[in-house]
Amino acid sequence: MKTVITLARAAVTEHVRRKLVLFFVGMALLAGLGLVYVSLNQDLSANLIGATVGLATVLSLTLLQGMATLAAVAVSMNNIGRPFSDGEAMLMLARPVARWQYALGRLLASMALVVGLCFLLAALLQGVNLIENRDLGWQLWGHWATQAFNLMLLVSITTLMSALVKNPVLAAFVGFFVYTSSNTISTLYLYVTTGRVGGAFGAVVTALWYLTPKRLISPLALDQIQQSGDLVGASSMMLIQSNGLRIAWAVSYLVATVLLTFALVQRKEL
């Protein structure tokens, strides 16, 4: 474990010094200031969404969530492919370091940064909510906790892609596509389960549904979908009814992705 922590610390230093983390933290703070301005300026809120309160919360769910997603991709796209292709990994793997330890160290560093960013965003939004006199309470923290888990899943998928392809930009795009495809596949699978889609296409969709990541559902997001009457959205999210089963599935997917990454890294040549 000492080796993994040493490698993870080095990877965190890499991201911090490459100013990637500082960029996203800076953007978060900037966005936070914007949200504070919006929440204090009630006329602007009224003009934009026809409501005097809640605009900051609405914006937060899209703007900051999107930014956290970008951050997760950015800190994981270089995890395996680049250090193996440019030879940076060679000297470390010539040490008594197992390849899975190397991969796990870099993976944990990316995950720790993403979880830290989610915590920062949650704290920021708690502040904005207080200014808006709107207390989302546990739902806000629950939202960012599920978001942190989902982004760890995105980190693991992007890292897996970076073990498959040398080009970090391609790894980032494919990782992001696989992660975001899960909502579309879930919606299609809903049509399969309700009998509206069948045959060969239905079988393909079913196979894809089992292969795509299962994300945790934010209490806030589900609440909003249900309030807005988006029955398809809500139903596709609830394809797995039991909370426990949903968590077990999501965790299993995360573990499987990590194990697959280890297997690929084990076979990589330097």
**Residue-wise DSSP of the chain:** -HHHHHHHHHHHHHHHHTTHHHHHHHHHHHHHHHHHHHHH-HHHHHHHHS-SSSHHHHHIIIIIHHHHHHHHHHTTTTSSHHHHHSSHHHHHHTSS--HHHHHHHHHHHHHHHHHHHHHHHHHHHHHHHHHTT---THHHHHHHHHHHHHHHHHHHHHHHHHHH-S-HHHHHHHHHHHHHHHHHHHHHHHHHHTTSS-HHHHHHHHHHHHHS--PPPPHHHHHHHHHHT-HHHHHHHTTS--HHHHHHHHHHHHHHHHHHHHHHHHH---
Q: With respect to other proteins, which residue has the nearer C-beta, 6 or 181?
A: 6
CB of 266 to other proteins, least distance (A): 9
Total number of residues shown for the chain = 270
Q: With respect to other proteins, which residue has the nearer C-beta, 229 or 267?
A: 267
CB of 201 to other proteins, least distance (A): 37
Q: With respect to other proteins, which residue has the nearer C-beta, 3 or 224?
A: 3
CB of 9 to other proteins, least distance (A): 9
Q: With respect to other proteins, which residue has the nearer C-beta, 105 or 175?
A: 105
Q: Which residues bind other proteins (CB under 8 A)?
A: 2-3, 6-7, 10, 13-14, 17-18, 86-88, 90-98, 101, 267, 269-270
CB of 188 to other proteins, least distance (A): 38
Q: With respect to other proteins, which residue has the nearer C-beta, 8 or 122?
A: 8
Tokens 């249900």, located at residue: 226
CB of 105 to other proteins, least distance (A): 10
Q: With respect to other proteins, which residue has the nearer C-beta, 47 or 266?
A: 266
CB of 6 to other proteins, least distance (A): 4
